[in-house]
A and B are shown apart, each in its own frame.
Chain A
Amino acid sequence: MKTLCSKISNYIKTLVKRNYNYRTTIMKDGSSITRPFSYSMMTMVLTLGIIIFFWHLIITKFFNEFGARNFFQNIPNFFTIIKQMVTDVNWSYFSNVLGPMADTIRIAVIGTLVGSLIAIPVAILASQNIMGKSKIPGVVKFFLSIIRTLPLLVYAYIFSYIFGYGPYAGVLATIIFTFGIITKMMYEIIETTDMGPFIAIEATGATKIQAFRAAVVPQIMGRFYSIVLYIFEINLRASAILGFVNAGGIGMIMNDQMALRAYGDVAVMVLGLLFVIIVVQNISQYLRGRLS
């Protein structure tokens, strides 16, 4: 056992050593080239660690505490609910659905619109190629990654306590969620655009903002619209469950009717939602097809 341990530690030592020795290569004629330090080794070890950790978590939680047998036994309950939704569908409930449904659409529209508008200037600030050697992009990216840490539902939950139950919390949560995603996607697109035209326009005496508007915007605008449309679809689906944390929309009454086990009413809501989502999805797909 002792020898095995020392063998492993020796192996790791040589691995690390070799990795460091690789940094400078000396050629036959005495000239040398130094490879800059790379994090690839560290990243590999970290990824492996994370995978092992989560694997462990899933195995223990799922099979020991929750109980796999329990899980499989409860599957038929799902079909019972589906069956009730089909047999007891309550069309007279439809008029109650319209108002909250309009709220849901409103949350998605306003949230997407405002969130993506705020995203544009921030995405520019986060793009290293536009900002030059400035440190601003690093700082902005750091804050953006903090914003993206929390999922939409958690924001909705928090805001529903701050601003009270209802659509305001939902709109705010959607704005922040949209903002987080779109800035990230946009600065990645901006950072990979062809900078040649930007440099050329800057060389004509334009400011960075003017050069961005003239040379970069035409390159990225199509993709921006298509991302916004896609996020709108996501937001519409998400705003249905926002109600479960009392942040407005159709989810609020859906939550109530589920608690009352009025699956017939729930069925009407699900159908309504399905209809709206299919319509929006088709329009968005058509528009995105036209854009590309």
Chain B
Amino acid sequence: MIEFKNVGKTYPNGVVALKNVSLKIEPGQFVAIIGLSGAGKSTLIRLVNKMEDVTVGSLFVEGLNIPTLKGKALRQYRRRVGMVFQSFNLINRTTVINNVLAARVPDMNPISSTLGFFSKEDKLIALEALNKVGILEKAYIRADQLSGGQQQRVALARTLAQNPSIILADEPVASLDPITANQIMSDFERINKEENITILVNMHHVDLALKYASRVIGINEGEIVYDGNTTDITENILKTIYGRELTDEDIMFKDK
């Protein structure tokens, strides 16, 4: 369970990203965080695995007091929280399987991780993860030779290889075309259902969020303006989240 209590985040340059955020996310939920760019979606997600520090308030994940985590405790916690990025963040000059194996490094002994020797079990875990996202046949190809959608799948497989209980995804489909974006989102949906992993995804596109998530959190200027079931969303609620009428940019499949 993820629990925010009156969390505020102010960056060193004075930008207030989040104000008084309180929310609870139960295990196994598929939550989409929507809002304009700059609304604080990314910050919210990055607080969960302590890529950013909470300024005020408290944040508990599975009973751990996140703002106090440091060093080894923080790294152990991060083993259980996967992260997927908009820009995939793959190591381009190496193979797909090596990219996935990189997620096994923290559990390895220093000598074999320095030399790049991975055990049979780790290789099997990596291949299983690739198989789960349907790109097993690309395992021994260099990562930069894949298409955008395939690269994001490798990133997803890398996250699965660390066997997380929570996956955070920061605009995972923003740089993909509509069809590929749909496929990636259904990968997330499948992983959520089959592996029972909590998924927190922030995105700009309303229609994809409504299609795949079971719960939507709307953020406007650092404040939660909506938190509820996907099915309860109305035009008016979307208007308060976005602070304006929806435009073509907010929807991935324009004809819908």
Contact between A215 and B102 (Cβ–Cβ < 8 Å)?
A: yes
Q: Quick one: CB contact mask for B176-212 with A, threshold 8 Å, 1 for yes?
A: 0000000000000000000000000000000000000
Contact between A219 and B102 (Cβ–Cβ < 8 Å)?
A: no
A204 proximal to B (CB < 8 A): yes
- Residues of A with C-beta under 8 A to B106: 204-207, 210
- Distance in angstroms from B243 CB to nearest chain A CB is 21
Stretch at the interface among A180-188, A194-202, A264-272: A194-202
- Residues of A with C-beta under 8 A to B218: none
Q: Which residue of A lies closest to B168 (CB)?
A: A203
A13 proximal to B (CB < 8 A): no
Contact between A200 and B158 (Cβ–Cβ < 8 Å)?
A: yes
Among A197, A204, A207, A210, contact of B90 (Cβ-Cβ < 8 Å):
A197
Q: Which residue of A lies closest to B94 (CB)?
A: A218
B83 proximal to A (CB < 8 A): yes
Q: Which residue of A lies closest to B162 (CB)?
A: A204
Q: Which of A199, A200, A218, A222 has the most B CB atoms < 10 Å from its CB? A: A200
Contact between B87 and A204 (Cβ–Cβ < 8 Å)?
A: no
- Distance in angstroms from B77 CB to nearest chain A CB is 7
Contact between A215 and B113 (Cβ–Cβ < 8 Å)?
A: no
- Residues of B with C-beta under 8 A to A204: 78-79, 82-83, 102-103, 105-106, 158-159, 162
Contact between A218 and B49 (Cβ–Cβ < 8 Å)?
A: no
Contact between B93 and A214 (Cβ–Cβ < 8 Å)?
A: no
- Residues of B with C-beta under 8 A to A205: 74-79, 106, 162
Chain A interface, >50% SS class = helix
How many residues in A have their beta carbons less than 8 Å from beta carbons of B? 19
Contact between A200 and B79 (Cβ–Cβ < 8 Å)?
A: no
B23 proximal to A (CB < 8 A): no
- Residues of B with C-beta under 8 A to A215: 91, 102
- Distance in angstroms from B101 CB to nearest chain A CB is 8
- Residues of A with C-beta under 8 A to B91: 197, 214-215, 218-219
Q: Which of B75, B94, B105, B158 has the most A CB atoms < 10 Å from its CB? A: B105
A213 proximal to B (CB < 8 A): yes
Residues 68-109 of B contacting A (Cβ, < 8 Å): 74-79, 81-83, 85, 87-94, 98, 102-103, 105-106
- Residues of B with C-beta under 8 A to A219: 91-93
B247 proximal to A (CB < 8 A): no
- Residues of A with C-beta under 8 A to B102: 197, 201, 204, 206, 214-215
Contact between B89 and A200 (Cβ–Cβ < 8 Å)?
A: yes
A207 vs B76: C-alpha distance when bound (angstroms): 10
B59 proximal to A (CB < 8 A): no
- Residues of A with C-beta under 8 A to B87: 196
A206 vs B79: C-alpha distance when bound (angstroms): 8
B127 proximal to A (CB < 8 A): no
B15 proximal to A (CB < 8 A): no
Q: Which residue of A lies closest to B98 (CB)?
A: A218
- Distance in angstroms from A222 CB to nearest chain B CB is 7
Contact between B155 and A200 (Cβ–Cβ < 8 Å)?
A: yes
Q: Which residue of B lies closest to A219 (CB)?
A: B93
- Residues of A with C-beta under 8 A to B234: none
Contact between A201 and B103 (Cβ–Cβ < 8 Å)?
A: yes
A211 vs B105: C-alpha distance when bound (angstroms): 8
- Residues of A with C-beta under 8 A to B92: 194, 219
Contact between B85 and A206 (Cβ–Cβ < 8 Å)?
A: no
A68 vs B10: C-alpha distance when bound (angstroms): 68
A214 vs B85: C-alpha distance when bound (angstroms): 17
- Distance in angstroms from B42 CB to nearest chain A CB is 13
- Distance in angstroms from B134 CB to nearest chain A CB is 21
- Distance in angstroms from B112 CB to nearest chain A CB is 11
A44 vs B159: C-alpha distance when bound (angstroms): 50
- Residues of B with C-beta under 8 A to A199: 51, 85, 89
Residues 28-50 of B contacting A (Cβ, < 8 Å): 49
A205 vs B72: C-alpha distance when bound (angstroms): 9
- Residues of B with C-beta under 8 A to A196: 85, 87-90
Q: What would 8 A/B residue contacts be, using CB atoms closer than 8 Å?
A: A196-B90, A204-B105, A205-B75, A205-B162, A210-B113, A213-B114, A214-B105, A219-B91
- Interface residues, chain B, CB within 8 Å of chain A? 49, 51, 74-79, 81-83, 85, 87-94, 98, 102-103, 105-106, 113-114, 116, 155, 158-159, 162
- Interface residues, chain A, CB within 8 Å of chain B? 194, 196-197, 199-201, 203-207, 210-211, 213-215, 218-219, 222
Known: A211-B105, A213-B114. 9 other contacts (CB 8 A): A196-B87, A197-B91, A199-B51, A204-B83, A204-B106, A204-B158, A205-B75, A205-B76, A219-B93
Which 7 pairs from chain A and chain B are nearest by CB?
Answer: A196-B89, A205-B78, A200-B89, A205-B79, A214-B102, A203-B83, A205-B75
